[in-house]
A and B are shown apart, each in its own frame.
Chain A
Amino acid sequence: MSSEAQEHTKQTVTVPVTGNAAPSKTRRRRRLGSVVARVALVLLFGIGFFLSAFPMGRATLRTVLLLPTLLMASEPAPLTLLDEPVRRTQMTISSASGPVYVDVYAPTTAAPPIPGTRGGLIMIPGIGDNRNVPQLVNLSLAFAHEGLVVMNMTTTTLAHYSLSAQDSDGVVQVFRVLAHWPGVSAHRIGLVGFSGGGPIICFAAADPRIRDQVAFVALFGSYFNATSLLRAVGRRALTVDGRTQVWQPNPFPIQVLANVISETLPPAEGSRLQSAFTPGGKPLTAQDLARFSPGTVAAYHLLAGDEPDQVDANLAALPSQAHTLLDELSVNRVIDQIRVPIYLLHDRSDTSVPFTESRDFAAALMRIHHPYDFAEFGIFQHVEVRADLGIGQVLSDSPRLFRILSEILLPSS
């Protein structure tokens, strides 16, 4: 009986308590759910507003949509829904150093009312005529689909695997054409140089005719000082953080350097030096070297990398015209004349141009308090995205690439 009473008491006491607890718990849960949903709404509003109303937000959004296209080396299918229709045309522009061959990627629609004008990019895709390289075409289309007008240019000198500082006039002429392109604002045009195209871009950015209009300069896998590049080639080694590390350059930059230096050598020796470093060319023999001038011999040893301990002596033995030309082709002579931010990107294991060149460039910019950003990557092979990318590598490099791309896209957003 007492246990029954106890049971009854328990029931009468406990039932109302549990009966109250359940609704209050549900009510609390609902209230929490409502608060979470409200916070989510506020966040979504804030994110959407930031990404559309502010230039920085629009640049961020464009970068988010550009990054997959860049990393996958082709545009993911869902993003094609957002594409502006683009037309690719070709043109030839006259310049003081000869004809400039330009590929234009331009949206066919009018510029949207906000910001009212389009941005533009002038790109030199390295030495040689690389305008049809699939990754460059993909990148140019991606920029154009986002509303930028892209002009990829090359010159006769570049197409013949050589370099000339006078080609910067070609960039100035292309800049003038792009500045007058329908819908494009002259103050939203950036200059981008890949590999050996970088110095030409810098010389143009320092040119008084356009230097106050250029929006930014971006250099990818470019060199800073032609002499230090030649020194690295001769040593087959780099000095990184005070330590020497082996560096094996690929044959292409050696061929280009041979073409450049040969212009300063006696004609017969210069052409023999050139042919020694063209693909499939015959190396110089001891008899050849015995007949050649000390300057040509020094140049050969530097390029062949067979006297790594004599690099400084060989550099000193180069003809004075070679030193003048190397100085003329070095970016360090103009950095104090460039007035816009400079963005530097470099593959850490670059075998064409050592990444230490961009490090030296960044250090020089820091010394003169010039606005710049610098990032080293592992996902590229010189200036192209590697085919065998690991997810870890992509994840570690993406934030740096994102940062620089959004900086590049900011002026046109």
Chain B
Amino acid sequence: MLILSLFWLLLGVLIGALANAARLWPASSSWGHRGWLVMLAVGALAGLLGGWLGALLLGKYVATAVALWVAALGVVVMPWLVAWVRTRFRAGDSAHGS
């Protein structure tokens, strides 16, 4: 499982790189100058999570396919989620301020 886990990590990193090329990190650059690196990490973690989830639910043969779509979903959803959370908190802060 160690080699498979490393493979899913690598797959996630590649998906993260693709997300960087697709400019999917938050437009406000809230992730700082290292946003691209965060995106690679998000991809890697989502890939690993997806792989393990797939292996446990569907078996090892299908796990890589799950890692693939979970990583792709992760790099799309994470930046959106981060931006949404920040906007919500800001809105909350300004409401409290007024």
Contacts and interface: CB of A to CB of B under 8 A. Distances in A.
Interface in B45-98: 54, 56-62, 64-70, 72-73, 75-76
A73 B6 CA distance: 28
A48 B69 contact: yes
Central interface residue in B61, B69, B73, by most chain A CB within 10 Å? B61
Given A58-B62, A61-B61, A48 B68 contact: yes
Given A57-B65, A81-B3, A41 B57 contact: no
Main secondary structure of the interface of B (DSSP, over half): helix
Interface residues of A, number: 31
B58 A112 contact: yes
Nearest to A50: B65
Contact of A48 (B19, B59, B61, B65): B65
B21 interface: yes
A290 interface: no
B23 A114 contact: no
Contacts of B58: 52, 58, 112-114
Given A44-B69, A48-B72, A49-B69, A37 B21 contact: yes
Contacts of A65: 61
Nearest to B72: A45
Contact of A37 (B7, B22, B61, B73): B22
Contacts of A83: 60
A41 B78 CA distance: 14
B76 A84 contact: no
A41 B15 contact: yes
A44 B62 contact: no
Given A41-B76, A44-B72, A112-B57, A52 B19 contact: no
B18 A37 contact: yes
Interface residues of B, number: 30
Interface string A29-46: 010011011101110111
Contacts of B3: 81
Contacts of B20: 37
Contacts of B61: 58, 61-62, 65, 82, 84, 146-147
A82 B66 CA distance: 14
A82 B5 CA distance: 12
Contacts of B76: 41, 45
A81 B6 CA distance: 12
A47 interface: yes
B65 A44 contact: no
Given A48-B72, A51-B65, A52-B66, A114 B57 contact: yes
Nearest to B53: A52
A82 B60 CA distance: 5
3 closest residue pairs by CB, A with B: A48-B69, A48-B68, A37-B22
6 contacts: A44-B15, A45-B68, A48-B66, A49-B65, A82-B64, A112-B56
Interface of B: 3-4, 7, 15, 18-24, 54, 56-62, 64-70, 72-73, 75-76
Interface of A: 30, 33-34, 36-38, 40-42, 44-49, 51-52, 57-58, 61-62, 65, 81-84, 112-114, 146-147
Given A37-B23, A44-B18, A114-B57, 4 more contacts: A41-B22, A47-B69, A51-B68, A81-B3
